[in-house]
Amino acid sequence: MKPRKQSYESSRDVQRWLKHQRALHPAADTMFEPTFLAGRRDSDWVLSALSVFHAQGLIADVVGQASSGKEATVYCCTGGPAADVAMLAAKVYRPRMFRSLKNDAIYRNTRLSLDEHGHPVNRVRGRLTASASERGREVRVASWIKLEYEVQERLFAAGADVPQPYAHTGNTIVMGFIGEDGIPAPRLCDVTLNRAVGARLFDRLIANVTLFLAHHVVHGDLSPYNVLFDGERVTVIDMAQAVDPRYGDAAYTLLERDIARLCTFFARYGMRADGVAITADLWSRYLTGDLPATLQEVV
C-alpha cells in the first residue's frame, strides 16, 4: 500500500514559512477574521498573508475570490482607510509555490535573482544558498515574488495596461481590482468579440508587448487566459513568469510564444498576423534600442 500523500500545507517548508512571517510581522492583526475565509482548509495560510495588510489599513475585508490558478488565488478585498480605492485584489501564492517555482528552470535561468537582503546574486551563489541553507527555498520564493511586484510596478509606471501594484510582502501582492461593483472582469478567453473590437484589442496587446520589451520584460506566459477585458479595456495580468531578456537565452523563444498565442486567438476575429515576423521585428528594434518607452508612442 502506498503511503498517504502528505498535505503540502503541513510540510516543513510551509511551517517554516509561517513561523518566519509571524516573526517578520509581529504587529499583524491576529483578530482579522474575514467571514469569507471561515472554514477553509487554507485559512491559516491566507490569514498569515493578508493580516499584515489589514493591520496597515490597506484592506478592510475579504469579500470574494476573483480567480484561482495552480500556484495562486486572487481574493477580492475592500479597501481600508489607507487605500485610495474601494476595492483591491490580493494575489496569495499557495504552499505549492515551494514546489512549482523549484521546477520552473526555464524562467529561473532568465531572471535576476535576489538574496534575502534584496541584493542581486549570481546563479552559482544562488544555488549554494538554496542547497546549504534551510531558508534557501524561502529566500528564493520571496525573491521571485518581489521581482514579480517590481516588474509590475515598473510597467505600470510606464503606462502599460497592468493592474496598479500597491504593496507586497511574503507570498502576497496587493494590486488594483479590475472589475465593477465587486465583480471581477472576465478573462479575454471567456468573452466573444466582434471583428472591429478584436482588431483593436490585438493592436493594443501587441503595443503592450512592445512596451514590455522596451522595459526589458517578456511576459513569458501571455495568452487570453492572462488578459482581462472589462468591455472597453484590456489588462494584462500574472507577471509571475516574466523574464528579463538581458539575463539568459530563453527570452526570444518566450516572446515568440507570447505573440503566437495572441495571433492564434485573434485569428478567429479575422486577424491575419505573422507572429514570427512581429517577433523578429520587435527583437531587432530592442537590440538597437529603437523601441518606444511609453504606450502613447507605440499606439
Q: What is the pLDDT of residues 25-48, one digit of tens each?
A: 665 656 788 999 988 888 888 988
Question: Is the residue at 275 inside a domain?
Answer: yes
Give dist(CA 260, CA 271) in Å, integer.
12
Place of cell 475565509: 37
Paired strand residues for 236: 227
Q: Which domain holds residue 216?
A: 183-298
Local structure of 234: helix, strand or coil: strand
Question: Is the residue at 55 inside a domain?
Answer: no
Top-confidence residue, 247 or 87: 87
Question: Is the residue at 96 inside a domain?
Answer: no
pLDDT attached to residue 44 = 82
pLDDT at 1 over 60: no
H or E segment to which residue 184 belongs: strand 183-184
* Residue 285 CB coordination number (10 Å): 15
pLDDT at 21 over 90: no
Top-confidence residue, 130 or 235: 235
Q: What is the pLDDT of residues 219-246, one digit of tens each?
A: 999 999 999 999 999 999 999 999 999 9
Give dist(CA 49, CA 52) in Å, integer.
7
Q: How confident is the model at residue 71 (pLDDT cuts 50, 70, 90)?
A: confident
Closest CA to 243 of 102, 118, 147: 147
pLDDT at 141 over 60: yes
Question: Is the residue at 56 inside a domain?
Answer: no
Q: What is the pLDDT of residues 178-219, one digit of tens each?
A: 999 899 999 999 999 999 999 999 999 999 999 999 999 999
Q: What is the dihedral of CA 111, 143, 79, 233, to 10 degrees?
A: 10
Local structure of 142: helix, strand or coil: helix
Question: Is the residue at 34 inside a domain?
Answer: no
* Residue 252 CB coordination number (10 Å): 15
Question: Is the residue at 89 inside a domain?
Answer: no
Place of cell 521546477: 103
Total domain count, the chain:
1
Global pTM value: 0.84
Amino acid of residue 131: S
Mean pLDDT calculated for residue range 96-107: 58
Question: Is the residue at 231 inside a domain?
Answer: yes
Closest CA to 208 of 107, 291, 111, 90: 291
Amino acid of residue 55: A
Averaged pLDDT of the chain: 85
pLDDT attached to residue 27 = 57
CATH of residue 233's domain is 1.10.510.10
Top-confidence residue, 6 or 268: 268
Percent of the chain with pLDDT over 90: 61
Question: Is the residue at 266 inside a domain?
Answer: yes
